[in-house]
A and B are shown apart, each in its own frame.
Chain A
Amino acid sequence: MSFVSDLQAALDSPHPDDAGDHVHDLVANALHRLLDARAEIKRTQYFTHTIVPDLVLHWGPSGNRRERHVHLRFSVNSDAFAQDLELLGSQSPLFLGMTDRRDLQQARWASSHPATNGSLITQSQVIDELDAQASRETRARKATGTLLRVGRGVIDEPRAEQVGGNYLQALRAMTEVSSETVVAREAVEQALAVLESYLPEEGRLEVERVLQSEWIRGGGDPYDFPGSTPWDAELLDHASLREVLLSLLGSRAPVQPETWQRNAGFIRIEDLGRILGKNVRGESFNAMAHALLPNWTAKWVWGERLPSPPLMATYEWLIDNEVVGLEVNDLRTFFADDGRHFKDKEAGNPLPLLSEGQQMLSQPGLRQVGLRGPMEGIQYEPLSSTGEVFTRIRNILSAPGAGSYRVHSVVAAVPSADAVAKVDLDRQIIDLDGHSTPVATLARMATRFFSRASRPEGLDHFLATGSPPAQAASER
């Protein structure tokens, strides 16, 4: 059954209210199929009313909610339709002709030259055509969605075929963009030129971004894309940037480090999770993180130790709940500039016994060590003349029973940086006191203080090369 035949059956219902309800259901379902999932469709109880729309499309963020009225008409080809355009055209609605089958090249109302403004005038058979295109290629849905939300002008079946055909051709050409760049360029230019007649600027940019994402996903360089403006990722809004970065992450072709640098090198680690807007982990995100790691700094670190080390050694960058993190064996570490990400993090992590803290406390740069025993807490602060901290503390606490003291905090100089890290082992948080510190350095510090199972050399290898160490790789 096609939309056209379903619609005809619904219109033949003998009772007007039944017919109206059935038609509204059918049209709402069709629009749902052709629009993106974020669009909302509301129905009114008015059917083909001359003033009240049959349906209303809503989309966009809550602060900038947009809407478009959908007016159903039996014919959008008649003389009387000019009155609809005159009365309703200023609100740029979508008019859908339900039963007229003739194309609209020479619509009868056209002779009176009514202003269509931003109205989109189309017919039920166009819905079938767009549906067919979207079922042949689901990626076409993004263009049909834009067309229905903000499209304008007259689109009958032949025009829908032309628009859809060119768009599908561009999508196909872009699968070979890395090897057939010129062909892909021409196909994209042709599709954009055809769509241009039916879209206002915002719609053109929207479709351009979608095609650009496909271009990138197909392995094309964003700088080669035939866009209306020169490519500059820094000028994109978050939604567009997300589209580009997710396309790169989903690319079938390997993405070069310089491509990541050009398209995401300016994004702070604090913002990256929010821009991507979804949880990601390992694989292509490892490559992205490795390419961007030299740019990344953070002011806070949060460690989350797994109950037990994984059987297989793990080395993966990840985004969880909009925060960038790194999972290395038993420790998941998150990095941020804003400590409020971690404000609800609870204390109560098992503290290492002093006897277990040799590696942690044997490195240079310790400024303060907080210990907690059964009866009291001790804050040890080495002076410059003091020797190696771990040995020194052991000597001080050589009394019987001193082995039960646990390390609960450390203040340490950050290696190779003019910053001090306050390490809270109870909450597994490192506060850099406002100093932007390289994430690679922080990853090493977190491992040193919070992990019980990581090999520092394995982490060093992963941070340096972006690949797990050979032993870990071979274990996989």
Chain B
Amino acid sequence: MPGIPPEHAILLAAVLFLLGLTGVLVRRNVIFILMSIEIMLNAAGLAFIVAGAAWGQPDGQVMFIFILSMAAAEVSVGLALVLRMYHCFKTLDADAASKMRG
């Protein structure tokens, strides 16, 4: 990490994570919620990369690869759920699926 303070990079990761969390909390479209979750996972990976670069160890990038594979699995299952929900409710509103009548 030549010349870049790690505080600033961690701050960037925190800002991105907060933006993703805001998106998850405020949007009602399931597609936007999935995108915000991707942003949050990406910010977590950025924090790992910053830590790995700060200590000069490859472990940060290894954890980033794990986060990447987890994000890929998550988005595939999430999009399958989105398709299922659209076939059931004919909408992507997250509030339409809020009636859990077990």
**A and B: bona fide binding partners:** no
